[in-house]
Amino acid sequence: MSFSHLDEGTPESAWQDAGLAELEETAGWDQAGPETLLVLAVAHPDDETLGATGLIRGVLTAGGRVELILCTAGEDSHPDSPTHTPERLRELRRTEMTEAVRALAEGAGADAQDRLTLTMLDLPDGRLAEHTEQIEAAVHRALEGGGRSEGDAAQILLATHYRLDGHTDHDVLGHTLAAVAAERALPLYEFPVWYWHWADPAREHAWRHWTRWPLDEQAHAARAAALRAHHSQTQPLSDAPGDEAILSPGMLEHFLRPYDVVRRTAPDSADSSRAARIFDQLYRDHQDPWRYLTSWYERRKRLITMAVLPQQRYGTVVEVGSSIGVLTAELAGRAERVLALEASELAVERSRTHLAEHANVQVRQAVLPQDWEDAVPAGPGVDLVVLSEVGYFLQPDELRAVLDRAEAALTLSGQLVLCHWRHPIQGWPMDGDTVHGLVAGDPRFRRVSEHRERDFAVEVYARASVAERAVVVVPAHNEQDLLPRCLAALARAADRWEDVHGQGTVVITVAVDHCTDATVARAQEMAALDGRFQVLELDARSAQETGLPDGGTVGAARDAGLRWGVARMTGGDGATEDGAEIWVASTDADTVVPADWLVAQTALAAQRAGVEKEAEAKHAEPRVLVAGTVMPHPGDLDRDVERLWYSDYEHREDHPHIHGANLGMPWSVYRELGGFPHVSADEDVSLVEAARTTGVPVIATDRTRVVTSGRTDGRTPAGFAGFLRDLVAGGLSPQLSASGEHRPPADPARDPAP
């Protein structure tokens, strides 16, 4: 998570509008007594005040004890300060902490000051990940020093930062104390601090599973006094840049609520940290705990899981919870690479032995979600994520965090497969149906296939899409040589589309425009082999029969081909039986599109449109246009010309280019814009300009890049070939559109990246 205290942040009103105040109260929040011990570990001075005032005051007021462990002095709070060195800040913040602790205990009952003990570890700020053993040892000392037995869990509370708070030190403490809580069977209370600042309540769902810890007036007064003590964080150190207050008024507003918000993990409610330890013990006791190697039930379930996968072959697969690698071996036969992640060290060792002959498999130990970034390469490059028999071993917010990371890692055409037992899971927070229901309710995904029976369910999800059907146009004028490879690539793109949308949901129209070579024959050969391809011969006779243009210009050919394809798909009126949107896309006969071209366009459009649920994805009419990039076919250009072209062409998001070879939009948007104008050049530029003029968002993306011919003898007067010809002749800048017209850079404010 990347954020700054200088960011504007999420306003408190957004959290209230999202229903934060409607959370249930923490069970047993008022049951603390003289025998209660709270061990609280925080990363920096002021964290205890911001996140745990309610916990501290609740225990002290009831006569209990609080062991407060401060891990760092927060000396790096102002790294760019021109007036305060880290050493000076360390001393200042230690003094502030002592004053704040006194304020938190003030008025909390007799001898409350003595019942609140502060231990300062003085570990380096920002580097707690290097000192987890020292933190664990300090926590254990505090627990044992409280004079309570290990088994008396009802009277001992552990508390620390939310493990996914977004600040490195906070996250480390959350995971570290979760491990201690699991080892000693203690309840754990986690409180967010910076989460309120960076998280979007509409997109982040973890908070919906938390509870409220009420604060009375005295607790509020204590918090206010303690915050005044932390003046180096609430007030600027000076007027100089770098000395700004860390806690802005907007940030502090989150802590003026009449309650704290906590994530409670009960001793009998396991999560990812506890799962790792439990499974290690399970694998110590049993070589194959679930009889993966011998059970017909397990084998049949694997066969069904593999059978529901839509694609025959995948590139990179990430399997979450790989156990001893039995399903991993099956996946290895359908993938180029498999990354198997498993929390148990013993299971990892056994799976590596089991998978020794599979050179395309890597097995890594990882406790998710916290270890995802270290285990999985960054960036969207994963084609399939497998969650088999693992979702219910996570807390709901942990599962959502895994889904967040999976979504970020998946390609635009990537898929997610889930397989889970449907019976109750004792000692764990969710069952299989709850896990699958959580994913089904995630607006970023849509279910494309499922198998459900009494014992288990298997489901496959793809990214949300703005359309379920697609029509593609390929204008072709004397393209006998290059057309076959174009159509072969489109067939692969249609296959990928139908993998997740079903058979019969793609029509590809080859609009053959007054050809004098074998282009018609080449197109008809493909149509004879693949019924998704239609050939529209544009001439005066076809215009009379269809009412469509007779071609003659590339704009007319594109327009006629799209309208013909939509009519063939819908029976003539352009409306589908179920009201679902049709996606229309355009490419060129000398262009090769990637296999995920169509799926990626509609996924990007769905992200931009903000589709909230599957029903809306089917019936809404999103207004968006996707404009992709091109690259010359390798070997088509002279190396000097190729170098000149690449030196200036912008393969990036929000690029300034427009190419008829790489455009897509909903049919409703195409009709709204009036379609491609019937001109011999710049029909693509005119259509995109019409979109911008009418307020249709344009996604200028490099994530749908196509490969086009590098020839200079194009079939239109201008176009990409004409541009390359001018480039060869005069060294023009590639900061032009496909037609050769100079285009101003995209306006990020008007056309932000998806």
Coil, strand or helix at 26: coil
pLDDT, tens only, 157-204: 999 999 989 999 999 999 999 989 988 889 999 999 999 999 999 878
Q: Above 50 in pLDDT, residue 251?
A: yes
**pLDDT of the residue at 278:** 81
- Rounded to 5°, the CA angle 717-684-616 comes to 160
Q: What is the mean pLDDT of residues 600-629?
A: 74
Question: What span, in angstroms and rounded, lies between the C-alpha atoms of 618 and 615?
Answer: 5
Q: Which residue has the higher pLDDT, 395 or 700?
A: 700
- In angstroms, what CA-CA distances link 493 with 105, 480, 525, 583, 601? 66, 21, 18, 14, 11
What is the average per-residue pLDDT within 636-653? 85
Among 2-16, 147-161, 243-257, 735-749, the range of highest mean pLDDT: 243-257
In the chain, CATH 3.40.50.150 sits at 272-463
pLDDT at residue 146, rounded to an integer = 53
**Enclosing H/E stretch for 301:** helix 296-308
Terminal CA-to-CA distance of the chain, rounded, Å?
19
**Facing residues of 507 across strands?**
471
Residues of the chain with CATH 3.90.550.10: 469-730
Please tell me whether the peptide bond between 369 and the residue prior to it is cis, using omega within 30 degrees of 0. Answer: yes
Q: Per-residue pLDDT averaged across 745-754, rounded?
A: 33
Q: Residue 647: its pLDDT value, please?
A: 83
- Residue 620, pLDDT above cutoff 60: no
214-218, 248-252, 292-296, 393-397: least confidently modelled range = 393-397
H or E stretch covering 413: strand 410-421
> What pLDDT shows up at residue 328?
98
Which stretches of 185-216 are DSSP H helices? 195-198
Q: Per mean pLDDT, which range of 180-189, 384-393, 490-499, 710-719 is the poorest?
A: 710-719
Is the pLDDT confidence value at 149 over 50? no
CB 630 within 8 A of CB 720: yes
Average pLDDT in the chain: 90
Res. 725: pLDDT tops 70: no
Taking the whole predicted model, whether its pTM rises above 0.85 is answered as no
C-alpha to C-alpha distance for 680 and 552, rounded to whole angstroms = 8
Amino acid 728: pLDDT: 62
**CATH 3.40.50.300, domain 12-265, yes or no:** no
Closest to 44 (Cα-Cα) out of 10, 68, 60, 80:
68
Q: Where are the beta strands (DSSP E) in 427-570?
A: 445-452, 456-463, 469-476, 506-513, 533-538
For the domain with range 272-463, which CATH number is right: 3.40.50.150, 3.40.50.970, 3.90.180.10, 2.60.120.620? 3.40.50.150
Residues whose CB falls within 8 Å of the CB of residue 455, separated by 6 or more in sequence, listed in order? 297, 421, 422, 423
Backbone angles phi, psi at 156, to 5 degrees: -120, 130
Q: What is the pLDDT of residues 441-494, one digit of tens each?
A: 999 999 999 999 999 999 999 999 999 999 999 999 999 999 999 999 999 999
In tens, the pLDDT along 308-355 reads 999 999 999 999 999 999 999 999 999 999 999 999 999 999 999 999
pLDDT in tens, 89-142: 999 999 999 999 999 999 999 999 999 999 999 999 999 999 999 999 999 999
* The pLDDT value given to residue 428: 80
3-state percent breakdown (helix, strand, coil) of the chain, nearest 5: 40, 20, 40
Kindly state the average pLDDT of the residues 431-440. 96
pLDDT above 50 (res 563): yes
Start-end ranges of CATH 3.40.50.10320 in the chain? Answer: 12-265
Architecture of domain 469-730: Alpha-Beta Complex (3.90)
Of 92, 99, 62, nearest to 77 by C-alpha is 92
Q: What is the pLDDT of residue 203?
A: 78
| Residue 748: per-residue pLDDT | 33
Other CB atoms within a 10 A radius of the CB of residue 379 amount to 9
